[in-house]
């Protein structure tokens, strides 16, 4: 397994340290290696160390996390969604997008249905 960061491939020594830490925390990392290979094949680019994933359990947690991320965004915002309703939450998201656009942040929304 070889890892990259935002600057490119890790050195052999740093790569070994990452693998050692994964083994220490997770035990058998064979399944991780398979997952990384699968994701690289699908995406066509390596996974980058330092990224973070948070599992959100329900709509309230999801919209709260989305709102916080939108409010603090400095880079372009890319949202792909099936539907945004014309309800309180949908209007709050729309207002946040407009606020960020006024600040100069590019907002891209791809949707199946919008209002």
Write down the domain spans for the chain. 4-43, 59-114
Asked if residues 49 and 4 have their Cβ atoms less than 8 Å apart, the reply is yes
What six digits make up the tokens of 24?
Answer: 């220490």
Can you tell me which residue has the tokens 């939450």? 89
Asked if residues 107 and 77 have their Cβ atoms less than 8 Å apart, the reply is yes
| pLDDT of 113 strictly over 70 | no
Residues present in the chain in total: 115
Q: What is the pLDDT of residues 21-30, one digit of tens each?
A: 877 877 766 7
Q: What is the pLDDT of residues 37-68, one digit of tens each?
A: 777 777 777 777 777 777 788 888 999 999 99
């Amino acid at each position: 397994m070889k890892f990259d960061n935002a600057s490119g491939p890790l050195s052999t020594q740093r790569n070994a340290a990452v693998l050692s830490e994964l083994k220490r925390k997770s035990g058998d990392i064979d399944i991780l290696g398979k997952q990384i290979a699968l994701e690289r094949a699908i995406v066509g680019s390596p996974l980058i160390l330092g990224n973070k994933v948070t599992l959100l359990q329900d709509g309230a947690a999801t919209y709260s996390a989305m709102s916080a991320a939108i409010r603090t965004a400095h880079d372009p915002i890319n949202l792909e969604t099936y539907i945004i309703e014309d309800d309180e939450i949908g209007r709050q998201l729309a207002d946040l997008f407009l606020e960020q656009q006024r600040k100069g942040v590019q907002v891209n929304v791809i949707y199946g249905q919008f209002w």
